[in-house]
Amino acid sequence: MRPSDIESKGVPVNGAGTVGADASASAPRVVVVRRDGDVGIVELARPDKFNCLSFAVHEAIARAFDGFEAPGCGVRAVLIRAQGKHFCTGADLEEVRGLREQPAELARFISLGHAVLRRLEASPLPVIAACQGLCLAGGLELMLACDVVFAARDARFGDQHAQFGLVPGWGGSQRLPRLVGLRRALDLFFSARWIDADTALHWGLINYVVDADRLDAEALAYGHALCGRSRGGLAMMKRLAREGLEGSLDAGLTVEERQAPDALRVADVDEGLSAFVERRPPSFQP
C-alpha cells in the first residue's frame, strides 16, 4: 500500500490511511504526516530552515498524535523523521526573536513545546526517531522525548544554547542528565560541542547507528516489528518505565507490583502463552 500524505495541519488519519477533508491546500507544509501500514509517520518538512521547530510545527505534531491515538485508527507505532540533510537544529530563532517583546506569547511558545514533548512520552504508542545530519538544541530535546532512536553514521548531536546565550527551554536541562549522566550533560551544555553518532551510542543517547542510506528503512522496519507486539503490553511497559524514572526505585517497584497481576490476565497474554505452547508466532488483537 502506498503511504498516504497529510498536509502540515496534521489532520487525523483514519484506519484506512486516508486523511480528513479539512486539510487546507494553502497551509504551509511544515510537517508531513502519513502512514505505512500500522506505522504512523511524522516528517519534519522545513529542510530549507534545518527543520527548526515553530508554533506551527508543534501544533502539527500534536494533531498528528491526536489522529494516531484515536480509537479505530489502527496505528501501533510512530516514527518521527525529517526531510533534507539534517534532522533538526532547534527552535525557529526568527520566531523567538519576534516573541521576546511579547512575554505572554513567548511563555506560550515554551509551554506548547513542553506539552508536545510530554505528549510523546505519555503516548501509549512507541515513538521512534530517525536522525540524520545535525540534531541540536531543540532538535536534541525533541529526540530526547522519543522512546527509541536510530541515527545515521553522519549524525551529530549537541546543545547549542550556550553559543548564543540561550538556555534549554523544552526539557533538555532535565532529560539529558537523566539519560547520559550529569557530567556528560553539563559538558554538552557548557561547550556547545557536537558528538558523533558512535559517541552518542556509547553514551546511551541513541540506540542504533546505521548507514545513512538505510536510516529510514531500518527505523521503519523496527516500527513494523513493534506492530506485531501486544499494543497494551508495550504501552504498559513504556508507562511503567517512564513513571519509575520520576520517583524513587521503591515507588516504581510498588507500582509495577500492583499493576502486573492485572496485566497478566488480559487477552493478549492468553494469545501469547498459547503461541508459546504451540510454537507459533502470536497474533495479538489490533
Confidence at residue 37, expressed as pLDDT on a 0 to 100 scale? 96
In CATH, the architecture of 4-227 is Alpha-Beta Complex (3.90)
What's the mean pLDDT in 56-80? 96
Per residue in 228-258, pLDDT (tens digit) is: 999 999 999 999 999 888 777 676 667 666 7
Per residue in 118-138, pLDDT (tens digit) is: 999 999 999 999 999 999 999
Confidence at residue 223, expressed as pLDDT on a 0 to 100 scale? 98
Q: What is the model's pTM?
A: 0.84
What pLDDT band is residue 214 in, cutting at 50, 70 and 90? very high
Per the rule left: phi > 0, alpha: psi between -120 and 50, beta: everything else, 15 is alpha
- Rounded Cα distance between 197 and 183, Å, is 19
Note whether 128 and 148 are within 8 A (CB): yes
Alpha-carbon radius of gyration of the chain: 19
Task: Report the b/e string of 179-210 with b at 16+ CB within 10 A.
Answer: ebeeebbeebbeebebbebeebbebebbbbbb
Confidence at residue 8, expressed as pLDDT on a 0 to 100 scale? 37
What is the residue whose three cell numbers read 509495577? 256
More confident residue, 115 or 19: 115
Confidence at residue 2, expressed as pLDDT on a 0 to 100 scale? 33
